[in-house]
Structure 1
Amino acid sequence: MLHWQWKPFTALTVEELYQVLALRSEVFVVEQKSIYLDADGYDRRAHHLLGIQPDEPESFLAAYLRVLPPGLKYPEASLGRVVTSPRARRYGYGKTLVERGLAFIDATYPGAAVRIGAQHYLQRFYEGFGFRRISDVYDEDGIPHIDMLR
């Protein structure tokens, strides 16, 4: 069972920030072989959801996403950098992660639409949360993406 925690950027400890950046690099840069600048300037104004796995020999960041407020990246609120650690993928944390992210947006920005830039292969996954595709497939850092809206 994960310990879930929401934090603004300024409340992240140095260790938590290190774990976030390490996990995002492990999956998005190394595993997916996508060379891009992860530190895109949005983290400072984002809300960060950390799912910590406490029962390993050492606790580790098992799941993570960030929520961007309306008007920062898109006119709508957004969630992104949705990632599950390779060590924790078999437990279905991705679904819980997105559910928690959307619930946070609904509570924090009532009535706000939500836009995401999703990897194309995840279209059906996000449709299960009420998202609909609103763009053609486009290349983002070597990976096919689509824009989706809820």
Structure 2
Amino acid sequence: MKWITKSFDELTTIELYHILKVRTDIFVVEQKCAYPEIDGHDGVSLHLFSLQNGEIAAYARLVPAGEKYEQASIGRVLVIPAKRKSGLGRQLVSQAIDKIKEEWDVKEIKLQAQSHLESFYGSFGFQPVSEIYDDDGIPHVDMLLTVR
């Protein structure tokens, strides 16, 4: 499995198109959430993805500390439906954590987890730091990972 990490300026037009398409397909269409998918944070973020047969199979956006939250964060985490339950999500989160630690000197990493994935993220060491709350009709919980 090849993982690619690029800044916004390094993305080709085609890569950016595929990233925005897969994010919209999953977060807007599949999850039936009408929200501003293009939120202004992509330009300063790192974009981590894997390609299979020329298509994005998994993706996460890595946002530097101070941009969206006080901490660096992992967001827009997705695995396409055909690749779910294959272990690709575990690889993606592991890669995201490693890349943040490699690129930025951070003490914590934050994410907004869909509440049904709390134990999944907990297996990486993320701890809940909020009550469960509604975000566009989907229960979420804020979680933090202390970086060692």
Please list, as runs of the form range in 1=range in 2, the aligned pairs for 1:1-150 lying within 5 A after superposition: 2-54=1-53, 59-150=54-145
What is the Cα deviation at residue 147 of structure 1? 0.4
**AA partner of residue 135 (structure 1):** S
1:114-136: CA deviation from partner (whole Å, max 9, x where unpaired)? 11111111000000010000001
Report the TM-score when normalising by structure 1. Answer: 0.93
Determine the C-alpha separation between the residues in 1 that align with 2:37 and 2:3: 23
Q: State TM-score, norm by structure 2.
A: 0.94
Say which SS state the counterpart of residue 36 (structure 1) adopts: coil
**Runs of 5+ consecutive residues of structure 1 not aligned to the other structure:** none
Answer with 126-135 or 28-37: which moved more: 28-37
Q: Do the aligned partners of 1:70 and 1:112 also contact (CA within 8 Å) in 2?
A: no
- Preserved CA contact (<8 Å) 1:28 1:34: yes
Q: Which amino acid aligns with 1:52?
A: L
Contact kept, 8 Å, 2:72 with 2:106, in 1: the verdict is no
Q: Describe the SS at the equivalent of 1:91.
A: coil
Structure 1 consecutive aligned stretches of length 4 or more whose deviation exceeds 6 Å: none
CA shift at 1:3, angstroms? 2.2
Deviation at 1:89, TM superposition (A): 1.6
Query: What does the per-residue CA deviation read over 1:65-96, in whole Å, with 9 as the maximum and x for residues that have no partner?
Result: 01001111111110000001112224211000
2:51 maps to amino acid: I
> Structure 2 CA distance, aligned partners of 1:124 and 1:90?
15
SS of 1:95's equivalent? Answer: helix
SS in structure 2 of the partner of residue 129 of structure 1:
coil
Deviation at 1:30, TM superposition (A): 1.0
**Number of residue equivalences:** 145
Where does the alignment leave 5 or more consecutive residues of structure 2 unmatched? none
Report the Cα offset of residue 112 of structure 1.
Answer: 2.4
Shift in Å, 1:34: 1.1
